[in-house]
Amino acid sequence: MVSKIKTVLLSEEQLKARITELGAEISRDYAGEEPIFVGVLKGCFMFMADLLRSVDLFCTMDFMAVSSYGDGTSSTGAVKINKDLSRDIEGKHVIIVEDILDSGMTLSYLKHYLSVRNPASVRIVTLLDKPSRRNADIVADYKGFEVPDAFVVGYGLDYAERYRNLPYIGILKEEVYINE
* Catalytic positions: 102
Dihedral sign of CA atoms 50, 59, 106, 140 in order: negative
Element (H, E) at 106: helix 105-115
Pattern of binders to ligand IMP over 87-126, x per CB under 6 A? -----------xxxxxxxxx--------------------
Q: Report the residue number, 30 or 166, with the smaller CB distance to ligand IMP.
A: 166
Q: Outline where DSSP puts E strands in the chain.
A: 5-10, 36-41, 60-67, 80-83, 93-101, 121-129, 142-146, 152-153, 169-172
SS3 content of the chain, % helix, strand, coil (to 5): 30, 30, 40
Within 13 Å and on the Cβ side, how many CA atoms surround 154? 20
- For 120, half-sphere exposure in the C-beta direction (CA atoms, 13 angstrom radius) is 10
* Beta carbon of residue 18, minimum distance to ligand IMP (angstroms, whole number): 18
Contact window for ligand IMP (CB under 6 A) among 11-19, 87-95, 116-124, 150-158: 150-158
Q: 30, 37, 63, 69: which one contacts ligand IMP (CB under 6 A)? A: 69
Q: Is 50 in the site for ligand IMP (CB under 6 A)?
A: no
Count of residues near ligand IMP by CB under 6 A: 17
For ligand IMP, the closer CB: 95 or 152: 152
> Could you tell me which residues are beta bridge partners of residue 83?
65
* Closer residue to ligand IMP (CB): 94 or 96: 96
List contacts with ligand IMP (CB under 6 A).
Answer: 43, 68-69, 75, 98-106, 151-153, 157
